[in-house]
Chain A
Amino acid sequence: MTQSPSQSPTHDTQWPRWEVFKQDSEKRPYQAVGSVHAGDPDHALLTARNVFVRRPAAVSLWAVREADILSATPEELAAHPAVLDTPGEADTYHVGVKKTHKRSMTFVDLVGTVQASGPGEALRQAQAAHADALAWLVFPEAAIARTDDDPGTVESWFAPAKDKTYKQQQYYGVIGKHVGQLKREGRMPRRVNEEPHVADHKVYDHPHDQPARTLEANAADVEVNP
């Protein structure tokens, strides 16, 4: 995504890289969620679904080959203004903007489309309309591989994710008994590298150590969401 358009791609034995855009609901914009390597559009969508939609909600996915995307930051445009002259096909171009440095599951929102004579011209329009963006990207409508929107596809690609909720880490820490019950019974394991204990009391307190932590305090570290 940050690759400057002026750099020629180095030799790469991997399959082409595709940027994946995910729409969480009909009312939400498509958002860039990451990339996959794939041999062809169908393969890109299948792997994108596996990598990005096993659990999070989605109703539609787009995959766009890296080579079909033109992206730039203000700094890059200042250094290489010729990027705005990048030639290509006249088409409807989708415009994506990055608005924040905040870490997030998504980093570019698609904000709309423009008619342009080529990617450079589309980027110029994106820059003009979203002057304060941290980065822009554009790609032509024709470059999009998209999932079908028939009920069968939605059912099999996207509906199962709704039943798969994220589980708290603690959920995986216990087989058969709730952590609280084990805590009450004084059977919570301590950290692997912890010094020996008899019941709740540390056996060999080093003089410089903090007072030995109680079992409950250790357990509280684990029990995020009882």
Chain B
Amino acid sequence: MTAPAPLTLSETQQAALIRKLTALADDEIILAQRGGEWTGHAPILEEDIALANIAQDELGHAGLYLELRRALDGSNPDQLAFTRDAAGYTCARLVELPRGDWAFTMLRQYLYDAYEAVWLDAARQSSYVPLAEVAAKAFREERFHLQHTALWVERLALGTPESLRRTQDALNALWPHLGQLFQPVAGEAELTGDGVLPDLNAVRVRWDGLVVPHLTDRCGLTLPPAGAEQPGREQHTEHLEPLLAEMQRVARDHPDAELW
């Protein structure tokens, strides 16, 4: 069997792929930062460690995406993570929202993990081999995250009246922001057509099939009505700026640092 000819991307396709990889990485970086905020504060030590693991994995995925980007345009992942301001970030608003309580944290992570697992599963078939390889690697971790967070959502929803109330409140607050995860970036359609990127509509259908029965049938939660059409990734909540200020502080204070 001969190896397939390497896929060559046009300049427009390459720019769109860079936009997509950056958006994927930005979601991971910001969610990892929110997860990291629990370090030392989680309800029990074991969950503190578990959430730190998950956050580290997400940050690792961001690193994988940004390395793919580096291969395309030579950009430096650390520079991208630590020197862009809110206007330069392209994360979804879902991951910017403050960490909230444990129910909010676990539910957001669950909804995101399910999206990421489904997206990565599809991306394993990407015609762009470097992406397919990254997706295969990250998918394994995401499956495990998903088991952990699905378990928590279920335990909280079926726990006490208080934990149910908090979980339902979290769902009400998060649901309107979910549509954004399934919005394509500019130029994404062409890449989907060429099999480089997963079809987001198909990802959404699979995600619905996974998440909705879990939330409703299994956990007894009530789905809020679908939100209105969302603005794109260039619009952020007021929460992103303070998050970046904290996350980037050391890097900005010591721009020439080589040792720490």
Contact = CB atoms under 8 A, between A and B. Distances in A.
Contact of B46 (A51, A156, A157, A187): A51
Interface residues of A, number: 30
Interface string A176-219: 11000010000101000000000000000000000000000000
A175 B77 CA distance: 13
A50 B257 contact: no
Given A37-B46, A159-B140, A46 B257 contact: no
A46 B113 CA distance: 15
A47 interface: yes
Contact of B259 (A15, A50, A51, A175): A175
Interface string B137-162: 10011011001100100010000000
Interface string A90-127: 00000000000000000000000000000000000000
Interface string B205-246: 000000000000000000000000000000000000000000
Contacts of A159: 140
A43 interface: yes
Contacts of B141: 156, 160
A77 interface: no
A43 B259 CA distance: 40
Interface residues of B, number: 22
Contacts of B259: 173-175, 182, 187, 189
B53 interface: yes
A174 B258 CA distance: 6
A187 B148 CA distance: 45
Contacts of B87: none
Given A37-B44, A39-B155, A174-B258, A50 B50 contact: yes
B39 to A, nearest CB: 13
A46 B47 CA distance: 10
Nearest to A15: B44
A43 B140 contact: no
A163 interface: yes
28 contacts: A15-B44, A36-B46, A37-B44, A37-B45, A37-B46, A40-B155, A46-B148, A47-B46, A47-B50, A50-B53, A51-B49, A152-B143, A156-B140, A156-B144, A157-B144, A159-B140, A160-B57, A160-B137, A160-B141, A163-B137, A173-B259, A173-B260, A175-B257, A175-B259, A182-B258, A187-B258, A187-B259, A189-B259
